[in-house]
Chains A and B, each alone.
Chain A
Amino acid sequence: MIQLKINNIELSVPEKTTILNAARMNNINIPTLCYYPDLGLQSDCRICVVEIDGQKGLATSCSTKVREGMVVKTNSPRVLNARKTITELILSNHDANCTACPKNLKCELQSLANKLGIDQNRFEPVLRVKPIDTSNPSLIRNPNRCIKCGRCIDVCKNVQGMNVLELMGRGHDAEITPAYGRFLSDESCTYCGQCASVCPVGAIIENDETDRVWKQLHDKDKTTIVQVAPAVRVSLGEALGLPIGSIVTGKLVTALKLLGFHYVFDTDFTADLTIIEEGHELLHRVTNNGVLPMITSCCPGWINYAEQRYPSILSHISTCKSPQQMFGALAKTYFTKIIQKEPKDVIVVSIMPCTAKKYEAKRDEMKSDGIHQDVDIVLTTRELSKMLDQMGVDFAKLDETPFDNPFGITTGAAAIFGATGGVMEAALRTVYEVVNHQPLESIELTEVRGLDGIKETSVELGGNVYRFAVAHSLSNAKTLVDQVSNGTSPYTFIEIMCCPGGCIGGGGQPYGTIQKTRRDRIEATYLLDQSMPLRKSHESPAVKEIYRAFLGEPLGELSHKLLHTHYHSRQHT
């Protein structure tokens, strides 16, 4: 242990602790801007500077380790003045029209300026206005708000292994952009939105479509349907003042009804359906010498990655549409018939933890009638929380309402789709039973749970042992995909989720997601599974009913038409 003094308080902290963490462990708050707990150290912004006795210059506390006998001041006049000056300089090169920014009141720079008591800026504005990147349906990049903290570069490069964004130029001309200063749509961006989830300001944000939803909700000629992804019910609460990991399914349904949606359905229903279709596809591939390993297709960030970077392995990806798109296809065919409406008069909105889902919904092949998109508008968890704020709902006090039918009865297998390993576990619960005619010894496949980057398990099916693997975040996915690409993959089935932790850590989830948040949301996910009366997709009465009343059989003609899709190479260079 190291003994040191911060602000005259004697502290004892483990070796190699940074001054910042030593202070925080002892309830001394040092403000930061570029620092983000899970990302690499940067000491870029210099907001966290402190004064160390015997040292001439101020030191960045995020990157300076404690030393024996160190005497640190985190709030001396010199420190406070430096922080204020740095913040003013950042603000002078920032589009600080806060009320015209979607991050208003959620912005770390704004909050810092407020805490430092900046009520005017001594420096003249020097911002040179640059074009805003609105090239894609998922993310908006506004360089005029960027403060060059580098978090987006770090997450894109080190978590996702993509490195789409980089710092270009130097000094006052520096800008964070894709290669050649191009737009995100010109580069191999997967639209995962991890950059948006760590951006401290409003420089990278999801394409906000809340106004479009409000408009549809108030259009008397439209029937509005909403579907909610598995991961949203364990994260939305955080954005509305409840503790992290709160399960808010019932309140969420009530809130969506209050917003005015005619039908509130559960994407978990099509998650169960995905398991039936994907499970049968896997068995078909195994028994018919098909392309193996098969890889999951639920995650649009992963699909974008594969289409752009690994076109040679596209035949390995399950042809199943994602649960979002299966839902859209059924809503605009089966359900419109039930309610006797035309697809043009029905609006399907999804609430997703994801920014890439916005892109997926707009894909050309996602039109069951050939004209209208199956899913019209995708909102992230953050956008939904914004709509609820706008409506003035006291979310915590809402009653609980069940989902509407016919897409409301679901199983625990669908509930765990949101956590990394969940799709694999759900699939094996069903596939094992279909093949071996007896249930898994333990329904909970703990080997594929948790936050290890790559997880694997093996399961006996029909007398043969098969290996299965799970990866989350694209840098981990790359390891498994490289094996597939060079023919050395030992697995039969692989689950890939683009975001760290799976969808519960998606790019559209409430701000402030760190490893602890992911863990809490995952814990809530498995609690939810445990609490469900049905925990295997093939036991879902709603799934049985849709095959009986509409689809016929898994992998049948109608399934093929509505629930399956194809992929194409979109390699940029």
Chain B
Amino acid sequence: MDLTQLLAQYPHEENRLIDLLLDIQKQKNNHFISEQEIQMVAKHIGVSEAKVCSVISFYTLLSFHPRGRYVIQICRDIPCHINHSASIVGTLEQLLGIQMGQTTQNGLFSLEYSSCLGHCDAPPSMRIDGRTYVHLTPDKVKAIISEYRGRTP
């Protein structure tokens, strides 16, 4: 669906801004919102571009920059932190050959931090492509990544 069609499905209401932005990202394999899209969204909703930028900058789900096909978000809040999320980060960086905040050369994975994913009872946790994984260990992470690598994107 192109952007004009997508916009037509949304009312000109500020309270639908986040839904709309998420929807735009979902349509794209590289999960980001371009400047042109921001301009069109701002016009459609009737807010300034600065407002749209502010919302995108606030939520880790939304991005200004192109990301990988699979965005891996690791919780950086305290329960995960004290349950060794750092070792999960280390394992992922090593497996994928990239640092946090980067995207693999083949455009398949991006690594980022997220605020709390709501699984403080089962830390450490991460989310890939909308699915959450909990009670992570380095071995578990390895298995999850090979499973994603095996998928045909």
Chain A interface (Cβ < 8 Å from any Cβ of B): 157, 162-170, 177-181, 187, 573
Contact = CB atoms under 8 A, between A and B. Distances in A.
22 contacts: A163-B48, A163-B51, A164-B48, A164-B50, A165-B50, A166-B51, A166-B53, A166-B54, A167-B54, A168-B53, A169-B57, A170-B57, A170-B58, A179-B38, A179-B48, A179-B49, A179-B50, A179-B52, A180-B53, A180-B64, A187-B50, A573-B39
Contacts of B64: 180
A299 B42 CA distance: 28
Given A168-B53, A170-B58, 17 more contacts: A163-B50, A164-B48, A165-B50, A166-B48, A166-B50, A166-B51, A166-B54, A167-B54, A168-B54, A168-B57, A179-B38, A179-B50, A179-B53, A180-B35, A180-B38, A181-B53, A187-B49
B96 interface: no
A157 to B, nearest CB: 8
Nearest to A169: B57
Contacts of B54: 166-168
A165 to B, nearest CB: 6
B145 interface: no
B96 to A, nearest CB: 24
Interface of B: 35, 38-39, 47-54, 57-58, 64
A194 to B, nearest CB: 15
A165 B51 CA distance: 8
Tell which of A157, A177, A573 has the most Cβ of chain B within 10 Å.
A573
A162 B49 CA distance: 10
Tell which of B38, B52, B57 has the most Cβ of chain A within 10 Å.
B57
5 A-B pairs with least C-beta separation = A163-B48, A166-B54, A179-B49, A166-B50, A179-B50
Contacts, number: 40
Given A180-B35, A573-B39, A169 B50 contact: no
Contacts of B38: 179-180
Contact of B49 (A157, A167, A573): A573
A563 B52 CA distance: 42
A162 B58 CA distance: 21
Tell which of B38, B50, B51 has the most Cβ of chain A within 10 Å.
B50
A187 B52 CA distance: 14
Contacts of A177: 50
A166 B49 CA distance: 9
Contacts of B50: 163-166, 177-179, 187
Contacts of B52: 179
Contacts of B39: 573
A179 B64 CA distance: 11
Contacts of A178: 50
Nearest to A175: B57
Contacts of A157: 48
Contacts of A180: 35, 38, 49, 53, 64
A378 to B, nearest CB: 27
Contacts of A162: 48
Contacts of A170: 57-58
A122 B53 CA distance: 34
A164 B48 CA distance: 7
Contacts of B53: 166, 168, 179-181
A169 B58 contact: yes
A478 to B, nearest CB: 12
Nearest to A164: B50
B35 A163 contact: no
Nearest to B40: A573
B13 to A, nearest CB: 16
Contacts of A168: 53-54, 57
Contacts of B49: 179-180, 187, 573
A163 B58 contact: no
Contacts of A167: 54
A55 B79 CA distance: 28
Nearest to A180: B53
A63 B38 CA distance: 33
Nearest to A188: B48
Nearest to B35: A180
A163 B57 contact: no
Contacts of B51: 163, 166
Contacts of A165: 50
